[in-house]
Structure 1
Amino acid sequence: MNRYEALFVLIPSLTEEEVKAAIERVKGVIEGNGGVVDNVDEWGKRRLAYEINKINEGYYVLCNFTSNPELPKELDRVLRISDNVMRHIIVNLD
Structure 2
Amino acid sequence: MTTLTRSIPSKDLRDSLADVLGGVAYGAERVGVTRHGKLTAVVISVDDLELLEELEAARDAAEFRAAKAADDGERVSLDDLRAELS
When normalised by structure 2's length, the TM-score is 0.26
Tell me which structure has the larger Cα radius of gyration. Answer: 2
Structure in which a larger fraction of residues adopt strand = 1
Structure in which a larger fraction of residues adopt helix = 2
When normalised by structure 1's length, the TM-score is 0.24
Choose between structure 1 and 2 for higher RCO, CA contacts under 8 A separated by at least 6 residues: 1
